[in-house]
Amino acid sequence: MSVSETRKRALGRFLVIAIPFIWLGALFLAPFLIVAKISLSTAAVAIPPYEPLISWAEDGALVLTLHVGNYKLIFSDPVYLIAYASSLRNAAVTVVFTLLLGYPLAYFIATRRENWRAPLLLLVMLPFWTSFLIRIYAWIGILKPNGVINGVLIWLGLIDKPLMILNTNFAVAVGMVYGYLPFMVLPLYAHLEKMDWSLLEAARDLGAKPARVFREVTLPLSAPGIVAGSLLVFIPAVGEYIVPALLGGPDTLTIGATLWNEFFSNRDWPVASTVAVALIALLVAPLLALQHHRAKGVKTMSDKP
């Protein structure tokens, strides 16, 4: 291979790797830095509606003003703390229930014959063909006082007047679990599908009843899938805005709604940015810890015999 050819290949390789990095840099890192910058400012009646960080003082000095008051505010005002707590709780509930529903579903699909698996997976992904917003909107029709559920319950004579389901935390949980279920099923399926089934046979052969086989072999071996699915559900669920906004009630306070309020109702971009940055910090810390733990675990247990 000639020198110029080697160079061409090196350039090609560089481009292939560089493009996604440029994409991430321009569309994720740069906006994040801008948001981080705004979070250190204060609100102002201006366009854009915050004070610049760098300004000229009267004596010609260049002044960099960093306000940390926004961070103090969100850690002292219970409104924000409650919003964080309830968002985390919502996300946790979503993870638990998507896992309880998704695990058997993924297991069922993974244990079907090969020619059945693709169509079943397609059914799991089918909802994605309709907009998330529209699907959550449809839940209003199901949950509202004169909606499908209440209609059926009244028709069956189980209740006389409609139950208040819509605009409760219960409705939010239903919507979240519904919306995020595929994100749990897909990684779980991917892990269960490549599991070595002879391990389960070996466990049964060694005298383990089905419950013990599941507890001591299936579950530990599918742990990476559980972790992947849980993260894939948990992270977007914490910042979820649409479901609480459409299905939640007056007492549903989430970080997504708080962000919306600060940006659009209060036009307080700095506080909104602070809320966003704090949320990212809140999510990144456990993620890094998990990544560290997994990197250690990969060495000792991930490969098959």
Q: Which of 203, 247, 272, 279 binds another protein (CB under 8 A)?
A: 203
Nearer to another protein, 160 or 303 (CB): 303
Closest separation in Å from C-beta 123 to another protein: 25
Closest separation in Å from C-beta 293 to another protein: 15
φ/ψ (deg, to 5) at 52? -65, 150
- What is the distance between the alpha carbons of residues 256 and 237, in angstroms, rounded to a whole number? 10
Closest separation in Å from C-beta 240 to another protein: 34
Number of neighbours of residue 189 by Cβ within 10 angstroms: 24
Nearer to another protein, 182 or 224 (CB): 224
Closest separation in Å from C-beta 302 to another protein: 8
Greatest alpha-carbon pair distance for the chain in Å reads: 85
Closest separation in Å from C-beta 168 to another protein: 41
227 binds another protein (CB under 8 A): no
113 binds another protein (CB under 8 A): no
131 binds another protein (CB under 8 A): no
Q: Are strands 62-64 and 54-56 parallel, antiparallel or unpaired?
A: antiparallel
Taking the mean position of all CA atoms in its chain, how far away is CA 26?
22
Select from 25-33, 46-54, 90-98, 210-218 the region that touches another protein (CB under 8 A).
Answer: 210-218
Per CB under 8 A, residues contacting another protein are: 196, 198-199, 201-209, 212, 216-217, 220-221, 300-305
